[in-house]
Structure 1
Amino acid sequence: MIDLHLIGIGTGNPEHLTLAAITTMNDADLILLPRKGDRKSDLIDLRRLICETALTGATRVVEFDLPERSADLPYIDAVHGWHDAIAEAWAAQIAAHLPSGGKLALLVWGDPSLYDSTLRIAERLIVGGMDMRIRVVPGITSIQALTAAHAIPLNTLASPVLITTGRRLREEGWPDAADTLVVMLDGDCSFQSLPPEGITIWWGAYLGMPQEALVQGALTDVGGTIAETRAALRRQHGWIMDVYLMRRSLT
């Protein structure tokens, strides 16, 4: 039996760890850390720092190479194939390091329930016949870190919030269901596809980390600044994690 613990670790700051996350990490027999290539070496370094900060016992930490997603297939097909490959990589690590079972932990950016595929990948292992129990330790999400950094509430009074992706924003425009949007997984600054009048945006990258970057204002005034800043930061660091909230005036 494998007890798989998916631990939300926030946005890269070790201080984002909850007490439950620290306890679960120390109770684990094994923590797997994925490597994503040289240009994203900061990500493995952050996970290493989190382990160095939180671990006080004999938990083993093993690094492995994460498969890359195909750039030649349609998006959904590429993601499904990628998830299959990651599940196979996990299974290989489990067979090598926990052949008799035990407690395995994976560190998930933000929270495992929000725009993250770790739970879907874990389901592939169960379908494949592995005897596994899945437990989730919730973490601070990028949305929480964003609203805290800008000191704003997530919603307006008695109004809903819609969380979406950059791809859907580009393809479908602003949905009618909400006056507040949170946009994740947007490498193309898709807010530029919207008529900017009457929209306020709060953007943040590397939230909670030393290189944190924040921009807020009317989209007509700061949209170009955000796009330029994002591109410059990605060139500088080789990777970027960002998120933004937009609010539309209804008057």
Structure 2
Amino acid sequence: MRVLILGGTSDATELAARVATMPGIEAITSLAGRTREPSVPLGDWRIGGFGGVAGLAKYLRQMKIDLLIDATHPFAHQIAFNAAEAATEANVPRLKLIRRPWEKVSGDRWLEVEDIQAAAAALVNQANRVFLTIGRQEIPAFAHLQEIWFLMRMIDPPQANALVPPGIILCDRGPFYLHNEREILIHHNIDTIVSKNSGGDATYAKIVAARELGLKVVMVNRPVTPPGEQLTDVDDVLVWLSQKLQEFGGTTQTNQMLSNWD
């Protein structure tokens, strides 16, 4: 059974490593290639886009993919909808692996907003020193905020001609730990954090540190996801895969019997 995993997250990397130990399954992980040194998953992998819905549907057919697992980032809105449409077009079952979002708890000072533009607008006259943790691609949305100082954390630096707000850039890759996040916030005298609600453990420490220090958090809510089957845990996906493998084996055996009969 051939499985295509749309990756780029720690969940996808873990899934690929564990699927590699499952007999009867051949998995290929696809990475978008947006980071210069991506975390390469165990097993077969590829880097680069497909060329939209038509390209992905063609790839699913050409590679004889039996199952598609979308384990991309919760904010990878376009690829999620492309994957759903392509899977339907190629008649390939699709599963979305999407981690649970963070939930506001006692002590959190969150302002929840719907998108990056709303997050930038929420900072006007409300923040002085901001820890911006949204990645490099959407940094230009804050470039006009010249009265605010930003500490901008991302995996790779922005392009040389990219618009960036005042401040400094910190290139780093998670997971991040509480004592380090607390130290960063105190050292740079941060009063506000801007974060996407990515969920998971790898970057949650900054939210805990903000809670402990009484800092404001502008939390960008997730975009909508396409309808379809979803799971939030790698273990549950492995169970789902095992069930699909049993069904696949039964179907294959039936097809072989019919072929022999013919």
Q: TM-score, normalised by structure 2?
A: 0.43
Bigger relative CO (Cα 8 Å, ≥ 6 apart): 1
Q: TM-score, normalised by structure 1?
A: 0.44
